[in-house]
Amino acid sequence: GDSVTQMEGPVTLSEEAFLTINCTYTATGYPSLFWYVQYPGEGLQLLLKATKADDKGSNKGFEATYRKETTSFHLEKGSVQVSDSAVYFCALKDSNYQLIWGAGTKLIIKP
């Protein structure tokens, strides 16, 4: 079945560092891909998405590009802030329109 694999955390960075959180997927067809963020004490929020190959999703300085050849959707940000500390989830939407989740990566940004 479809699956999503993302790098284990926690990822600890200093403020203004460059961020990459890896995400790869296995799926039949061409799923839509998503990054969700969960801030402490809150539910998940959609951060960005891409619906077809080579699409780039972006929001709040974060970017991710749908790479069909490497089945990847890595999350990047050029300069992280303490307020970016959260848990980040990669997900895909399967042919039944259900979301398949990665395990989540905790990001800790130190001032």
Partner 1 sequence: DTAVSQTPKYLVTQMGNDKSIKCEQNLGHDTMYWYKQDSKKFLKIMFSYNNKELIINETVPNRFSPKSPDKAHLNLHINSLELGDSAVYFCATQGGGAEKLFFGSGTQLSVL
Q: How far is the CB of 39 from partner 1 (least distance, A)?
A: 11
Task: Write the interaction track for partner 1 spanning residues 33-72; mark x where CB under 8 A is met and - where it is not.
Answer: -x-x-x---xxx-x--x-----------------------
Burial (CB count within 10 angstroms: exposed 0-12, middle 13-18, buried 19+), residue 14: exposed
How many residues line the site for partner 1 (CB under 8 A)? 21
Q: How far is the CB of 97 from partner 1 (least distance, A)?
A: 4
CB contact at 8 A, 93 and 4: no
> Which of 27, 89, 90, 109 touches partner 1 by CB under 8 A?
89
Question: For residue 16, how many other CB atoms are within 10 A of its CB?
Answer: 11
In terms of Cα–Cα distance, which of 71, 83, 62 is closest to 18? Answer: 62
CB contact at 8 A, 71 and 65: no
Binding site residues, partner 1, CB under 8 A: 32, 34, 36, 38, 42-44, 46, 49, 87, 89, 91, 93, 96-99, 101, 103-104, 106
